[in-house]
Chains A and B, each alone.
Chain A
Amino acid sequence: MGEKAGQPAAEAGPLAEGLYRTLSLIRHVERKIVEVYASDVMQTPVHLSIGQEAIPTAFCAHLNDDDLKIGTHRSHGLFLANGGDPAALLAELLGRRTGCSGGWGGSMHVIDLAHGLVGTSSIVGGVLPIAVGLAMAVASPAVAAVYFGDGAADQGVFAESLNFAALKRLPVLFVCANNRYSVYTPAGQRRAVPPAEVAKAFAVRTIEAPIEVSSDVFALHELLADPIAEVRAAAGPLMVECHTVRALDHNGTRDDVAAGFRPQVERELFEAYDPMKVARCRMPAEAADRIDAENVRAVEAAYARALAGAETVLAFDAPAGAAEAGPWRKDGAGE
């Protein structure tokens, strides 16, 4: 495997096929969302990861079920790369009781405890200190991992989290997918230095993956192997800043570049560094086609299963009874 994208290499065998299968699954699930979204069958905001799929795919391949993970609102890729059931994700977006969060979370709040995903938050940076706490709870050699964007790194708690993880040498893997936009606001209007520089200031070991690497699932996977093993071996936290590109809108399925919300160069970046294209260039076409076809069938089956789930209909006490009801209450109505 090469370290730099564009290097011709034949990726074959179970590891390469496994990585491509995950990458392709995320893409096909999100394409399914794009396909049905206009019909309003999914009444939840969706923050798609098309263009960024290689990042969760590569780092989750190094993680186990006893590693604890947490993410943000843009976590479909994290959920799926971590081994989550596509039907549970789609059911959540459809508001079904069978959704991974029972319909309460929608697209921004997914959970999969069986695989160590303890949840995701739409207050973006809010998950960073929680990840540090997860690292204090796991038993070595397990680690904690947080998957977030550059917008999350804008929040001050990013610095607090890096500081404490470094101070206590905690096994935290900070994985930042830097797509340079917080909604439509570019990094140049928000940041004095990139997130990686903040991590370095706290003496956190930092890896910067340029878009050539972050879009190449095989290269990124290889790049992360030793550093993640070292986090397991009590080397302290690791920050990985992956430069990437968001293909579609911040929220929803619109082409926001075409609509004039981001510049044309973003479209060109995606065309050049679409992780699916990059991976396919490096795989035997037969294997890629076969895996894609299998994923198309798997996603159709998952969507059918998700649609068959019971809708979540809840009953609530009148507001006057709220305080007496206790901290949180879920009625069994509709079950």
Chain B
Amino acid sequence: MSNWGTTPTLPEILPLGERPLAYSQAVFEAMETALAADERTRLFGEGVTDKAGTYGTTREMAERFGPDRVFDVPTAEQIITGLAIGMSLGGLRPIVIHPRNDFLLVAMDQIANHAAKWKAMFGGAIRLPLTIRSVSCRGWGSAAQHSQALHATMAHMPGLMVATPFTPGDAKGIALWAALEAEEPVMIMEHKWLWNLRGHVPAGCGPTPPAGPQVLRRGDDVTIVGISYGAADALIAAEALAADGIAAEVIDLRWLKPLDVAPIAESVRRTGRLVVVDTGHVSYGAAAEIVAATAERVSPSAMKAAPARVALPDVPAPACSEKTYYPGPKTVADRVRSMLRPAGTRGGRVTTPD
């Protein structure tokens, strides 16, 4: 598979239904619908009004909805984010975009110290509806500062809701819910490698409130939980494993916070094996949280192998050697096969670049 670019063309791994849409098109529709549906919505971020239009997801919105509601901003992540918080406290429903995750770290005071805490800090006296979209953009030598996937960092903060939509349907529904209905700050962590992924988006797709993980593929031998683009690796791996007679259950996590771990625990009780595929770093990451939360709910006697994390090594991304740095479907499939080896062989170690 030729996955090496900034936006790969993925195989058809999702049901297409009667209205297949690319992920980026689904996000575009969400922005368009949110702006049309509620006068209080605002859309802004670096490059929102330029010709590229945030990877196409905001293209021509300023022309259609006016420069007061859709506008570009300085390269100043704190004012961009603080602006959104102030607008929200003043009664608007802002959608702010940080086109790369890495720049969220510049905005972290506003996100973590202010947006996340405002409601709790004032005893629930005030609501802070706020949508923050951000895109993880690995590939094509993006190197260490243009490739991070920071959903676990965000989910560590009480007060933020954190979604990692994987299917185009979720990309649209979750963004619409955040923009039109949520009463809390919602971080939507998109992944640029999903831009071309096609899936069914019903014509009437509306706001989708937070929901538990969804099973994308049924199987009884192993539970593979995918986070964001990790779900693509999991689905492709499951297809390869099926050829070996191994039936993998693939679960798309969807929301890091709120986290509903029950469906994962239920699946693991049946399969006895758990692999979590994440786009973030392995250390202190989302995969660790899923493994821990599942372990708290599943009897050790139900486990047939130690759980495994497939995630990024504890090293900043190199521009030169992405193919060995990033795990892929083969990493996932190999890990599953090692779990299924006869007793006595070791499974479930932390993934390192092969």
Please determine whether A320 and B296 come into contact, CB atoms closer than 8 angstroms. Answer: yes
Q: Does B89 sit at the interface, judged by CB under 8 A?
A: yes
A136-193 residues at the B interface, CB under 8 angstroms: 136-138, 144, 156-157, 160-161, 163-164, 167
Q: With A103-B123, A119-B118, A126-B114 in contact, is A136–B86 under 8 Å at CB?
A: yes
- Which one of A105, A129, A134, A163 lies within 8 Å of B121 (CB-CB)? A105
Q: Does A334 sit at the interface, judged by CB under 8 A?
A: no
- Give a binary string over A96-125; 1 marks a CB under 8 Å from any B CB, 0 the rest: 000111111100010101000011010100
Q: Which of B20-28, B152-160, B217-225 contacts A (4 or more CB under 8 A)?
A: B152-160
- Give a binary string over A306-335; 1 marks a CB under 8 Å from any B CB, 0 the rest: 000000000000001011111110100000
A103 to B123, CA, bound (A): 7
Q: Does B92 sit at the interface, judged by CB under 8 A?
A: yes
A103 to B78, CA, bound (A): 28
Q: Does A60 sit at the interface, judged by CB under 8 A?
A: no
Please determine whether B257 and A326 come into contact, CB atoms closer than 8 angstroms. Answer: yes
Please determine whether B82 and A161 come into contact, CB atoms closer than 8 angstroms. Answer: yes
Please determine whether A157 and B121 come into contact, CB atoms closer than 8 angstroms. Answer: no
B109: chain A residues within 8 A (beta carbon)? 123, 126, 157
Q: With A123-B114, A157-B78 in contact, is A138–B257 under 8 Å at CB?
A: no
Closest to B42 in A: A136
Q: With A118-B89, A119-B126 in contact, is A133–B258 under 8 Å at CB?
A: no
Q: With A132-B82, A136-B92, A157-B82 in contact, is A119–B121 under 8 Å at CB?
A: yes
Please determine whether A104 and B86 come into contact, CB atoms closer than 8 angstroms. Answer: no
B154-209 residues at the A interface, CB under 8 angstroms: 155, 158-161, 184-185
Please determine whether B113 and A137 come into contact, CB atoms closer than 8 angstroms. Answer: no
- Which one of B74, B87, B113, B296 lies within 8 Å of A126 (CB-CB)? B113
Please determine whether A161 and B79 come into contact, CB atoms closer than 8 angstroms. Answer: yes
Please determine whether A144 and B74 come into contact, CB atoms closer than 8 angstroms. Answer: no
B124: chain A residues within 8 A (beta carbon)? 102, 104, 328, 330
Interface residues in A, total, Cβ within 8 A? 45
Please determine whether A164 and B83 come into contact, CB atoms closer than 8 angstroms. Answer: yes
Please determine whether A132 and B293 come into contact, CB atoms closer than 8 angstroms. Answer: no
Q: Does B271 sit at the interface, judged by CB under 8 A?
A: no
Taking the nearest CB of chain B, how far is it from the CB of A219, in angstroms? 31
A179 to B85, CA, bound (A): 28
Please determine whether B86 and A102 come into contact, CB atoms closer than 8 angstroms. Answer: no
Q: With A126-B114, A320-B293, A324-B259 in contact, is A136–B83 under 8 Å at CB?
A: yes
Task: Give the size category of B's interface with A.
Answer: 35 or more
A132 to B92, CA, bound (A): 13
B296: chain A residues within 8 A (beta carbon)? 320
Q: Does A131 sit at the interface, judged by CB under 8 A?
A: yes
Closest to B76 in A: A160
Q: Does A128 sit at the interface, judged by CB under 8 A?
A: yes
- Give a binary string over B81-109; 1 marks a CB under 8 Å from any A CB, 0 the rest: 11111111111101000000000000001
Q: Does B350 sit at the interface, judged by CB under 8 A?
A: no
A136 to B90, CA, bound (A): 8
Please determine whether B121 and A164 come into contact, CB atoms closer than 8 angstroms. Answer: no
Please determine whether B86 and A326 come into contact, CB atoms closer than 8 angstroms. Answer: no
Q: Does B119 sit at the interface, judged by CB under 8 A?
A: yes
- Which one of B86, B116, B118 lies within 8 Å of A133 (CB-CB)? B86
A108 to B110, CA, bound (A): 17
B315: chain A residues within 8 A (beta carbon)? none
Closest to A167 in B: B74
Q: Does B120 sit at the interface, judged by CB under 8 A?
A: yes
A322 to B85, CA, bound (A): 25
A136: chain B residues within 8 A (beta carbon)? 42, 83, 86-87, 90, 92
A113: chain B residues within 8 A (beta carbon)? 125-126
Closest to B262 in A: A324
Taking the nearest CB of chain B, how far is it from the CB of A110, in angstroms? 8
Taking the nearest CB of chain A, how far is it from the CB of B295, in angstroms? 10
A100: chain B residues within 8 A (beta carbon)? 122, 125
A63-111 residues at the B interface, CB under 8 angstroms: 68, 70, 99-105, 109, 111
A102: chain B residues within 8 A (beta carbon)? 122-125
- Total A-B Cβ pairs within 8 A: 161
A156: chain B residues within 8 A (beta carbon)? 78
Q: Does B32 sit at the interface, judged by CB under 8 A?
A: no
Q: Does B322 sit at the interface, judged by CB under 8 A?
A: no
Of the candidates B76, B86, B92, B116, the one having the most CB atoms from chain A within 10 angstroms of its own CB is B86
Q: Does A283 sit at the interface, judged by CB under 8 A?
A: no
- Which one of A99, A104, A129 lies within 8 Å of B81 (CB-CB)? A129
Q: Does A288 sit at the interface, judged by CB under 8 A?
A: no
Q: Does B261 sit at the interface, judged by CB under 8 A?
A: yes
Taking the nearest CB of chain B, how far is it from the CB of A309, in angstroms? 13
Of the candidates A130, A138, A167, the one having the most CB atoms from chain B within 10 angstroms of its own CB is A130
Q: With A130-B89, A136-B86 in contact, is A326–B125 under 8 Å at CB?
A: no
Q: Does A209 sit at the interface, judged by CB under 8 A?
A: no
B74: chain A residues within 8 A (beta carbon)? 160, 163-164, 167
Of the candidates A133, A137, A320, the one having the most CB atoms from chain B within 10 angstroms of its own CB is A133
A102 to B122, CA, bound (A): 7
B184: chain A residues within 8 A (beta carbon)? 327-328
Please determine whether A328 and B120 come into contact, CB atoms closer than 8 angstroms. Answer: yes
A144: chain B residues within 8 A (beta carbon)? 86, 90
Q: With A130-B86, A137-B86, A164-B79 in contact, is A324–B126 under 8 Å at CB?
A: no
Closest 4 CB pairs of A and B: A133-B86, A137-B90, A102-B123, A129-B82
Residues of A within 8 A of B (CB): 68, 70, 99-105, 109, 111, 113, 118-119, 121, 123, 126, 128-138, 144, 156-157, 160-161, 163-164, 167, 320, 322-328, 330
Q: List 6 A-B contacts (CB under 8 A).
A: A104-B122, A130-B89, A133-B82, A163-B76, A326-B258, A327-B119
Residues of B within 8 A of A (CB): 42, 73-74, 76, 78-92, 94, 109-110, 113-114, 116, 118-126, 155, 158-161, 184-185, 256-261, 289, 293, 296
If A99-B123, A167-B74 are given as contacts, then 17 extra A-B residue pairs at C-beta distance below 8 Å, sorted by A number, are A101-B125, A105-B121, A129-B80, A130-B110, A132-B83, A133-B87, A136-B83, A137-B86, A137-B87, A156-B78, A161-B79, A164-B74, A322-B158, A326-B161, A327-B159, A327-B160, A330-B124
